[in-house]
Amino acid sequence: MRRPALTTSTRRPRLLFLSEFLESYARAQLIFLVPALLSLRLKIGMMEQDRFAIKRWAWLSPSDYWPYLPIDLCIGLIVVPLVATILTSFCRPAWKWTLLAVSSALMVLVLFIEQRAVSLLGTFAPMGEVWEGLRWGARNMGLASQYLSALSFVKLLFSLGGVVLCWRLAGWSRTMERLISLKFLRWAWLTAQLIILVAPSVVPARDALHKRSILSQIWSAQLPDGGEAPLPLATLCGRYARLAAAPAPEAGRTYFGAAHGYDVILFVMETVPARCLDLGVSDLGFVPAMARLRERAWIATQYFSTYPMTPRAFYSILTSMYPPDPPIGYVTIGQENGLLRILRSRGYSTAVYGFGFADFEELPRGQAVDKLVTCPNKDLSLTGAWTLQSGDWLKAQVVSDEQCLDSMLGDLSQWIRSGHRYAVVYAPQSTHAPWQSPRAEAVPRAPLERCRDLVALQDSWLGKTVDLLQREGRLEKTLIVVTADHGIRTRTEDPSFRNGFIDDYSFHVPLLFYAPAVLEATAEISWVTSHIDIQPSILDLLGVREGRELEQGTAIWNQGLARRATFFWAERYLGADGFHQNGKFFMWSRLHDTVYAGDRLEFRDADRVAPKSPLFDGVRNEISSMDLLRRSWLRCAREGCPESGPK
């Protein structure tokens, strides 16, 4: 049976519907114009950071940008408005345009945040990390205000104003109808859509990474990593030993039990790189307490953090494991096994003093510490320390740190006099970067000079602790570890910082390990050591074997560490991971898919490894393999290791 031909009356509603849909689509394109332009600007900025992959570091011309921009035009000006038009096609007109404008404004906000993340860190930030940063900023306005300049706010307001303007223009129904009714403009507009749609597939580009749209890269940063299922402990340890060339646990236990029954104090400073505090130099006059302890301590001159964020760095210190790297918050930071729980099970009183941030507190609570003293300062979010010279935030933080110090000293006196053993962590925050000066400055000084002034202040607190132990007769029976969680991470903290790189400035931190039980003079450790080596060193000296099955570290005096691969994790913060082995440092920038190799953890352009070379593939495979092993290891720590592997 033949299908009847469409009459004029039946075609008219369809044509009317198509005309109305195209009109709505054109309005949506106008509303989403600002985020589309911002994504283009962000793509250009990313390309400028990675000129090597595109044009061997030569300055880029407009013709060099063009092959990589059509995909962003397609996503921003066609896909997003089209999807938005379809999803809102059944809404009332007044609600539709308002909903689209709000969506556009949210996209502008996300792109602004990610642009700041790329500028400060060199990578895109998961929204979970952004949320944690906002929570921290609410408590520390005096520091947080320095991460966002007035010009940044002006740019954000200007962009949001552009969204409002486009929204208002899109709401002028008669004007839009007249423009769309013009045959020339309609065909020109449709031709432009076709060109934008076809261009990404026909325009050649040398670098596949930058052919991805900015929005897809931002979306990828929000997705959780996959991971292996938890494996039997023996399988994990065997793989780790082969991959990292880790020394056997028993190989370096030279001093096992030499400090049996000693007390333990971990003095962990915030944001103090080795450039600020070099404990290997001869003159430590500005830190007399550390100079005093150094006379009978190990000094690790090549000691590194595992992650340039405080909760994750502490995770390694207190568990001897590489930290989790989730995209949303710190949901895997808390777990039962670790240094403080092990010592508590052996009759030690355990306590943590300082910090005062909920996500960090998850770790000591997971280890069931006897006492957690955070000394929150209610003035931190109200001070209005909007300039670097004001020092209002610093004054409030010093008060908070000293309150925690007094609480710790009181507890130490009580435990010592009652003959009770203890293990405590003191984590003052007054050295948090950007470093504020503890003294008036007519002219702002260099960041590292301010850092040393703040370290000198905290050294005086260490001195009070040492004096108390001396008076109570326990200094010779106490292990004292002095270190820092991490170094500098952003250009706001120090304009000389090179973001997007695994760098000495971020990871290299001081380590002083006072051990009067075994040392009569300073002992320098020249090989690379890490936060994961703190717990094994302490427990070896105390003579503890139980509860250490999941350790990835080794006592710092074990010479086998010179051959071990030691890893640095920062993909979700700096966009790169790295490791050291056999005297060489390696880095893989996952954001740009570039590999570097050098003699120092300060990579130069000349250190870039040729793509697809054996070394390039080897570095990527080493980091990827350890990343999978790390995540399987973490699942074992949280869920327990199975007796047999997955089938």
Statement to judge: residues 476 and 538 lie in one domain:
yes
Statement to judge: residues 209 and 295 lie in one domain:
no
Residue where one domain finishes, among candidates 549, 564, 579:
564
Is 354:428 a contact under the CB 8 Å cutoff?
A: yes
Name the token pair of 284.
């430590």
Write b or e for each residue in 582-603: b if 16 or more Cβ atoms lie within 10 A of its Cβ, otherwise e: eeebbbbbbbbbbbbbbeebeb
Residue 295's CB: how many other CB atoms inside 10 A? Answer: 12
| Residue 8 within any structural domain of the chain | no
pLDDT of residue 448: 94
Statement to judge: residues 315 and 447 lie in one domain:
yes
Kindly state the DSSP code that residue 61 receives in the 8-state scheme: P
Is 479:577 a contact under the CB 8 Å cutoff?
A: no
For 107, 357, 380, 386, the CA distances from 391, given in Å and listed in that order, are 35, 21, 12, 9
Kindly state the DSSP code that residue 353 receives in the 8-state scheme: E
Statement to judge: residues 279 and 207 lie in one domain:
no
| Residue 415 within any structural domain of the chain | yes
Count CA within 13 A, CB hemisphere, residue 320: 25
Residue where one domain finishes, among candidates 501, 533, 564:
564
Statement to judge: residues 395 and 524 lie in one domain:
yes
Residue where one domain finishes, among candidates 154, 188, 214:
214
Name the token pair of 356.
């005062």
Taking the chain (647 residues) in runs of 10, the rounded mean pLDDT of each run is 49 56 81 90 76 51 70 85 86 81 91 82 73 66 64 85 86 60 62 68 57 78 65 90 86 84 97 95 92 96 95 93 66 68 95 74 82 70 42 84 95 96 95 86 84 96 97 96 95 85 95 94 96 97 92 94 96 90 94 91 91 94 94 86 65
CA dist 77 and 58 (Å) reads 30
Helices H / strands E in the chain, number of each: 24, 14
Statement to judge: residues 430 and 524 lie in one domain:
yes
| Residue 616 within any structural domain of the chain | no
Statement to judge: residues 156 and 269 lie in one domain:
no
pLDDT of residue 571: 86
Kindly state the DSSP code that residue 77 receives in the 8-state scheme: I
Measured between alpha carbons, how far apart are the two ends of the chain, in Å? 59
Pairing outcome for strands 349-354 and 422-427: parallel
pLDDT of residue 593: 86
Q: Rg of the Cα trace of the chain?
A: 29
Name the token pair of 334.
């808390």
| Residue 620 within any structural domain of the chain | no
Statement to judge: residues 175 and 261 lie in one domain:
no
Report helix, strand or coil for 252.
Answer: coil
Q: CATH number for the domain including 466? A: 3.40.720.10
| Residue 56 within any structural domain of the chain | yes
Residue 343's CB: how many other CB atoms inside 10 A? Answer: 25
Statement to judge: residues 188 and 302 lie in one domain:
no
Statement to judge: residues 407 and 278 lie in one domain:
yes
Report helix, strand or coil for 83.
Answer: helix
| Residue 465 within any structural domain of the chain | yes
Domain count, the chain: 2
Is 592:606 a contact under the CB 8 Å cutoff?
A: no
Statement to judge: residues 192 and 268 lie in one domain:
no
CA dist 449 and 452 (Å) reads 5
| Residue 580 within any structural domain of the chain | no
Statement to judge: residues 371 and 297 lie in one domain:
yes
**pTM to 2 decimal places:** 0.81
Is 210:592 a contact under the CB 8 Å cutoff?
A: no
Which residue range(s) make up the domain with 42?
14-214
Is 318:339 a contact under the CB 8 Å cutoff?
A: yes
| Residue 642 within any structural domain of the chain | no
Residue 46 corresponds to which amino acid? M
CA dist 36 and 28 (Å) reads 12
pLDDT of residue 71: 81
